[in-house]
């Protein structure tokens, strides 16, 4: 895992520098007005080889792609991301899951379980997936076969997994 350095840029925003295992570095400057500059530094170089400026929306779209919201590599049996104590996990709703037929609001996921549902992904046929809802509201109802992308603390995610799978482990099964 790469090392991340963070620095405040007073009056501008924040700067992050990620040192990759291969020796390259990726720099990200997040400006207070929303723009992001990305810099790629080849191993051992102090000047960036490439620079790209993204709008806030473009940066969020690319972050979603990199984070696996739209596509999860099939070679991973269980995909999870850990950022400090926060985990993001992909869980498939099983037919026997206690959450089937219930809404996010009925389950009161945020208040009772500390879980935020980031997205719902469904099978679009022919092996393709489609994102049904990004940040679905409290009226969204869970159905078997949906892939739920959720964020929460490790213990909360484990309890949520029981609600979504009914104990049957189908994490990230795409």
Is the domain spanning 80-165 CATH 3.60.110.10? The answer is no
- The encoded tokens of residue 93 equal 């709703």
Is 82's pLDDT higher than 60? Answer: no
Assess contact for 13 and 4: CB atoms under 8 A.
Answer: no
Assess contact for 22 and 43: CB atoms under 8 A.
Answer: yes
Q: What are the extents of the domains in the chain?
A: 4-71, 80-165
Tens of pLDDT, residue by residue over 92-137, are 899 999 999 999 999 999 898 899 999 888 876 666 666 677 889 9
Place of tokens 């984070």: 67
**Alpha-carbon span 142 to 63, nearest angstrom:** 25
């Amino acid at each position: 895992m790469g090392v991340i350095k963070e620095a405040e840029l007073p009056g501008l925003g924040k700067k992050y520098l990620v040192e990759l295992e291969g020796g390259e570095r990726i720099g990200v400057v997040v400006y207070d007005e929303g723009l992001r500059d990305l810099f790629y530094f080849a191993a051992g170089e102090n000047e960036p080889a490439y620079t790209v400026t993204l709008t806030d929306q473009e940066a969020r779209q690319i972050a979603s792609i990199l984070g696996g919201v739209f596509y999860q590599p099939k070679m991973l049996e269980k995909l999870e991301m850990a950022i400090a104590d926060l985990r993001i996990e992909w869980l498939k709703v099983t037919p026997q899951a206690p959450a089937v037929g219930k809404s996010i609001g009925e389950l009161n996921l945020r208040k009772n379980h500390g879980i935020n549902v980031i997205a719902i992904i469904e099978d679009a046929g022919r092996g393709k997936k489609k994102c049904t809802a990004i940040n679905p509201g409290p009226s969204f109802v869970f159905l078997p076969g949906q892939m739920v992308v959720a964020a929460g603390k490790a213990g909360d995610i484990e309890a949520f997994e029981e609600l979504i799978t009914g104990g049957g482990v189908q994490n990230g099964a795409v």
